[in-house]
Amino acid sequence: MRKIIALAAAALLTAGFMTGCGVQAVGDGQSATIVSSSSAAENSADENSSQTQAEQVTEDSVEDSLEGLKEYFTAKGYIPADATQSNLQANIIGAKEGSRYTFQYEGANVQMELYEFDLDNLDENAQKTIDEANTSGTMTVIGITATGTAVMSDSGKYLMFYNDPNTDEAHQAHTQEIIDAFKTFKS
């Protein structure tokens, strides 16, 4: 009984400490991200650091891999620092690997999935997924057509699935900017 009380007290103290420091857990019930609030001066320093990083990271400075694409998109701000990442079972669509990012963009819940294909070893699922993305801009997974836009890179090595439910002009322009950067990555 004493152990239970001690554990409960420790949990409450930890929660109080984290709340006092401006840290909160944000999630969708399946995954969570720790978000920390900070002063305006710290935010300004972080923004300057991010801008410097973006200037240093170019398409030529990253590897021709899914990891390189993620690094490039993060530096350009297309994958925000507070995005929740989860690894995907990419083999379902015949891809070598894949990651999903969920984040907020101007109040909209956005989902971005990035996949890498091994062009020397495409199976039937991979070819079907690539053909569908190229012909209709969609992606079907386990018989269900996903809501959003599926795009192949010009190199044919990468697939991006992007879903921003907000269709106003600013969001459409942002989506197109991301698609354009994606299509030309390492092509």
Six-digit token string for 164: 């921003």
At 105, phi and psi to the nearest 5? -130, 110
Contact between 123 and 107 under an 8 Å Cβ cutoff? The reply is: no
Q: What's the confidence (pLDDT) of residue 54?
A: 52
Residue 95 in any domain: the answer is yes
Q: What is the spatial distance between Cα 106 and Cα 86, in angstroms, rounded to a whole number?
A: 22
Number of domains in the chain: 1
Q: How many beta carbons lie within 10 A of that of residue 182, not counting itself?
A: 22
Terminal Cα distance for the chain, rounded? 63
User: How does pLDDT run across 168-185, given as a tens digit for each residue?
Assistant: 999 999 999 999 999 999
Confidence of residue 34 (pLDDT cuts 50, 70, 90): very low
If one compares 44 and 167, the residue with the highest pLDDT of the two is: 167
Six-digit token string for 127: 């070819």
User: How does pLDDT run across 67-95, given as a tens digit for each residue?
Assistant: 999 999 999 999 999 999 999 999 999 99
Residue 124 in any domain: the answer is yes
Six-digit token string for 31: 């995954």
Contact between 77 and 99 under an 8 Å Cβ cutoff? The reply is: no
- Tell me which residue range forms the domain holding 111: 38-183
Lowest-confidence pick of 25-29, 41-45, 83-87, 91-95: 25-29
| CA-to-CA separations, 146 to 126, 137, 142, 156, 165, in angstroms, rounded | 16, 10, 10, 20, 13
Q: Is the pLDDT of residue 33 over 90?
A: no
Residue 32 in any domain: the answer is no
Contact between 175 and 164 under an 8 Å Cβ cutoff? The reply is: yes
- How many residues are there in the chain? 187
Contact between 155 and 112 under an 8 Å Cβ cutoff? The reply is: no
DSSP class of residue 61 equals G
Please report, as a single letter, which amino acid is at residue 64.
Answer: D
User: How does pLDDT run across 98-157, given as a tens digit for each residue?
Assistant: 999 999 999 999 999 999 999 999 999 999 999 999 999 999 888 888 889 999 999 999
Q: What is the spatial distance between Cα 91 and Cα 134, in angstroms, rounded to a whole number?
A: 19
Q: What's the confidence (pLDDT) of residue 142?
A: 85
Residue 169 in any domain: the answer is yes
Residue 121 in any domain: the answer is yes
Residue 80 in any domain: the answer is yes
Confidence of residue 12 (pLDDT cuts 50, 70, 90): very low
Confidence of residue 55 (pLDDT cuts 50, 70, 90): low
Residue 29 in any domain: the answer is no
Q: Is the pLDDT of residue 162 over 60?
A: yes
Question: Residue 22, by phi and psi: left (phi above 0), alpha (psi -120 to 50) or beta?
Answer: left
Residue 28 in any domain: the answer is no
